Amino acid sequence: MRTQVGIIGAGPAGLLLSHLLYLQGIESVIVETRSREEIEETIRAGVLEQGTVDLLNAIGVGERLNKEGHFHEGFELLFQRKRHRIHVHELTGGKYITVYAQHEVLKDLISARLQTGGQIRFQAEQVSLHDLDSERPKIRFRQGSDGEWQDIVCDFIAGCDGFHGPSRPSIPAARRTEYQKLYPFGWLGILIQAPSSAPELIYARHERGFALVSTRSPEIQRLYLQVDPRDDLANWSDDRIWTELHARLETDDGFQLIEGPIFQKNIVSMRSFVCDPMQYGRLFLAGDAAHIVPPTGAKGLNLAAADVQVLARGFSLYYRSNQRDYLDRYSEICLRRVWKAERFSRFMTTMLHRDEQHSPFDQRLQLAELEYLTSSRAASVSLAENYVGLPLEF
């Protein structure tokens, strides 16, 4: 098989890139190890920056988002039993925070790609990359353990296959530098069947640990608790979860957390990670294949969207006018934004979580930071503009 751009991974980065290329008349084929059903049924959080929403609308996949998404004008910081609203809509000149789950974004993108004749090779096995430093790199895989090996010969390969995919390890170790920070806490996330407890997200800093109130739909809510990432879900009964949530979300103004049946639980660890450079030969990394952020800053999907906009522009310049300079600067352009997002995500994470290594001095600094953010307009503007997304620099 022959195509212009071979894409590994049908996550947000791969699907967005494929659709952007289609709109510019550039061929692509996506190779994905999971089935369509597995992708669409894996429930994941989704807080979208204004720029990501604008992009989805611009490429014609925002219809369902505009009907079912939750458009928030702000969020709340809760500490010392008091809630403080950050009015991002007013502080950023009219931008919104949009809550729309990642798996719903993926459903919309998969539908759009298939309706326009896009090729997605689901359930590919033993995917590998070859000849990356040649003019004809290729992707090798087979569908089914008894299937024949298939090669896709490409002009370029986009590695959009996440942290554990084969793309990043295909870059020689001597040609990449990996930066990583592991955090000593994780999130226990639950999905419940209940009406929303609050009109906007609540980020809570408490002596017992962090908590987050989010939403998925009018009937389904998403809640998080800070826990030890090595903990066992068996240690967390429903009663224990609700006891902790009520304790960490208690306020002087009588905020009431609405309970409901818990139908999903999971514990995720937290890390920051960056691969530099994000390219090698004719391979370009995008999304989680190149960088990971802790979820506190809500940047994961949005960074992927920014990456592929830069990459799609580079491919367009190459095919329209044979300009390679922009593609050669892909890492430089993307990493400027990536490191700013890493900074913000780490800032939010360390400010809101309880760390066993924190001294009483460190804890007082956390409170001082929160008090400054919620009392200074300049600090609130900085927080708001980072949260809704910094302008995309091309």
Q: Output the DSSP codes for 273-302.
A: EEEE-SEETTEEE-GGGTEE--GGG--HHH
Closest CA to 34 of 123, 119, 114: 123
87 is catalytic: no
224 is catalytic: no
Cα–Cα distance list, 46 to 43, 97, 173, 215 (Å): 10, 10, 32, 10
What's the whole-model pTM score? 0.95
Q: Which of 137, 166, 294, 295 is catalytic?
A: 295
Does domain 183-270+355-388 correspond to CATH entry 3.40.50.11240? Answer: no
Q: Which of 22, 72, 84, 184 is catalytic?
A: 72
319 is catalytic: no
Instruction: Give me the residue spans of the domains in the chain.
Output: 5-71+96-179+271-351, 183-270+355-388
Q: Are 265 and 237 in contact (CB under 8 A)?
A: no
326 is catalytic: no
Q: Are 158 and 309 in contact (CB under 8 A)?
A: no
d(CA 287, CA 11): 9
340 is catalytic: no
- DSSP letter assigned to residue 93: T
Q: Are 31 and 8 in contact (CB under 8 A)?
A: yes
Q: Which of 96, 100, 183, 203 is catalytic?
A: 203
Name the class of domain 5-71+96-179+271-351.
alpha beta
**Per-residue confidence in pLDDT tens, the chain, 394 aa:** 999 999 999 999 999 999 999 999 999 999 999 999 999 988 787 899 999 999 999 999 999 999 999 999 999 999 999 999 999 999 999 999 999 999 999 999 999 999 999 999 999 999 999 999 999 999 999 987 778 999 999 999 999 999 999 999 999 999 999 999 999 999 999 999 999 999 999 999 999 999 999 988 889 999 999 999 999 999 999 999 999 999 999 999 989 999 999 999 999 999 999 999 999 999 999 999 999 999 999 999 999 999 999 999 999 999 999 999 999 999 999 999 999 999 999 999 999 999 988 899 999 999 999 999 999 999 999 999 999 999 998 8
Closest CA to 95 of 45, 47, 46: 47
d(CA 193, CA 319): 49
Q: What percent of the chain has pLDDT over 90?
A: 94
Cα–Cα distance list, 24 to 53, 115, 210, 319, 323 (Å): 20, 16, 44, 10, 16
Q: Which of 70, 95, 291, 299 is catalytic?
A: 299
